[in-house]
Structure 1
Amino acid sequence: MAVVFAASSATATTFDDVTIEELARASDIVVLGQVELVDCHDQGPAGQSGIHTRAVVRVTETLHGENERLLELWVHGGRIGDTARLVPSQATFREGERVALFLFRSRGALWLTGMGRGKWVISDSGSAAPWIRDGIVDASTGRIDVGVLRSRVLLAVSRRP
């Protein structure tokens, strides 16, 4: 199997110590939903080189931005056959997974804001955890209640200039 390590695009800047509020203000769209489909392609949506993964998400709630029932988003990296492209700090997706997503639009497609920091996994208990663990959630559990996440996003985008 061939493995390709890749640096991320300059437009997909990572956020080292980002707050929920900063993620929300940097995003065009913030949604809660469930991953319906995950597939990999040999190029990005605008012809960008390298393997890219597309995730189709059924939106259950829009917290900020356009209200759409289905969203298609892209991330750098993935696997096609025996070839994998691994991108440090990039999120991965699983069909059926419940998620909160912070997204920005670039070149006609949606991408995760802050790469892996733009994806949060929602548990059956109604709490969410960032795909990349850091100091923005309860340190004892590593999770935050979805209601608290919702409130913080709504407050942040209402104060957006």
Structure 2
Amino acid sequence: MLRMAMGQDIKTVLKGLYAPLLAMGVYVFFSGLYGYFIWPLSGSYDILFYDMYAVFGVGLIAIALCIKHDTKLEYIGFLALIYGVITIFYGYSGYSLGMTKEPAGMFALYALVGLSSIVFYFVSFGIDSGKVNKPLLYIEALLLILGGLAAAYIAGSAVPSHLKMFGQYVPFI
């Protein structure tokens, strides 16, 4: 997408992302709420994991609406900055409390995603002005890729045991 955008107005390129971002944001937001209120994670694990999932959904919805209504992304970037700091705090809290079987991996996930949200604040200024800072975009992409790899690592270690553990669970909703 970055290569495609190099010769075009970045806002024009982003217009095509409205529907996918909105759909993903709505799904992630409601999945986060569902997990927070219904999924039976022990102790405070639902707070650790599902709070941030719902927050991520709100961020995606906000970006989609900003693109749709041609509003400045810097306002959503500021929201992302705040969410990024909160995400890193959640990750640090979970790490310092020794939550999960892989606290370092969990902290890496939260730190990388939180940092990408913080960097998005600065990227948003470039998008709004039409002068995108390529090195900053590459940093943003790298943080998201590394965050995705950390998520895959966490999922790889958690999914098999969770599937077995919750195999008989039937939620009331």
TM range (shorter): under 0.3
Is the radius of gyration larger for structure 1 or structure 2?
2
Query: Which of structures 1 and 2 has the larger relative contact order (alpha carbons within 8 angstroms, sep 6+)?
Result: 1
TM-score scaled by length of structure 2: 0.24
More helix by share: 2
TM-score scaled by length of structure 1: 0.25
More strand by share: 1
